[in-house]
Amino acid sequence: MEDFFGDNIVVIFLFFLISVLNYSEIKLLEQRISVVYAVIIILKGLNVISIGMAVFFVLITLFIYIEILTDDKMKLKLVTNVFFKVIDCIYQSVFRFHFLEMCIVLELLQLSYNFQYYSIVRVFYICLSVLMAVITLNKVLSEDMEIADFTELYRKVEEYPIYSVMYDNETFVNARNILVHLEDKNFYTRKGYTVFSYSSAKSIVDRKVKESDGKTSRISVFCGMLKMLIYNMRTHNRGYSTIASQLLRSMAIKRGYSYNWNRKIYEFCYTYLFFSSLENYMKRNHTDKLEHFRDYIIYLYFHYVNTFLGPDDLRFTKFLNAFDMAHDKKNSKDIYDLTNEGVLVACWGLSKKTKRIINAKNAEQFIPYIDGVKFDCDLIKEMLGHLDKPFYDGQYLK
């Protein structure tokens, strides 16, 4: 065995990674990576390895644990595209396992060797690196934003199989058209799933330039979009979220929704990654009705996205439960049970317009014109007049 390993520290390190994985007391991925981080810091602190080798060990640790020896079984089946694997690894490394902070720790240790052993400056760098190491390991072990893995996401998708949806049902078609009109008019024409794709951003810029009769430059429009995005994130307003990205964050973010920057970057990285991987996985498994995949995303949206109705968000609930809060059976209602009026009011609640803008007195001026969809204005006013009450009992269902 000694002849096999020799002085090859890389091979030894790889076997160390596997041994950590097999240790029964270290079950969580965060624990495994923290243990490896601590070992790398010690090796670098003792100057056993160079800073280049230390960073290499960090990178190989993250890639092996995140993409190869992962406990997320559905990730291995869904994410087969190499580019997607790279995106996933980069996001997880930077935002979940704090790769950049770890590099700072290693750099501080490297700097300490530029001074004499008993130098005050060297002691300062060592103490600073120890402090930074403690902070980094604590961040890894106590992540503020908890995200569902691919296995959990796929389990949620499986609850409503794509082949079971009645896509030609009139109620579903109307509900779909209402949602798309209010939330994401480019949903069916957009090539990707987020507004951050090149084609989507270009279409928005072109439309705004056209609306200004060419008086505004594309650069000015693009800068304005970035400024608005930053403002919305700082003020917790909704902005530049597509139907697909809203659905993903509703299914995936388990804790830490208020971390706007992290959440927005997650949406940017994973909306296209997840839904494209899901569609390709279904193609490989010859799933029926894949031509309705975009409609299917909307169907899932109605089941998983929350809406806000009433003062102080009295009814913060899943979309389909908004007008049937008295029932106690899971999934007892479907989109086919809702009226056009119910869907419209619930869609208004997505952006909290029923709390800040729309009420029974002014509702008529906000009712949109959607080809083929009819609304009963009096019923909408009646519904808005009851939003201050805690529960409905199904009276606004078909």
Give 112-165 pLDDT, tens digit per residue: 888 877 788 888 999 999 999 999 999 999 888 899 999 999 999 999 999 999
Q: What is the pLDDT of residue 4?
A: 44
Would you put residue 52 in left (φ > 0), alpha (ψ -120 to 50) or beta? alpha
Q: Summarize the confidence of residues 219-238 as an average pLDDT.
A: 61
Q: What is the pLDDT of residue 76?
A: 95
pLDDT for residue 341 is more than 50: yes
Q: What is the pLDDT of residue 2?
A: 42
Q: Which residue has the higher pLDDT, 4 or 83?
A: 83
Q: What is the pLDDT of residue 7?
A: 59
What is the pTM assigned to this prediction?
0.84
Q: What is the pLDDT of residue 340?
A: 93
pLDDT for residue 264 is more than 60: yes
CA-based torsion, 193, 198, 204, 207: positive or negative:
negative
Look up tokens 């770890």; give the residue.
102
Q: Summarize the confidence of residues 279-287 as an average pLDDT.
A: 94
| Residues 75-87 pLDDT 10s | 999 999 999 999 9
| Residues 25-52 pLDDT 10s | 778 899 999 999 999 999 999 888 999 9
Q: What is the pLDDT of residue 1?
A: 38
Q: 274-291: b or e for each residue (b if 16 or more CB lie within 10 Å)?
A: bbbbbbebbeeeeeeeee
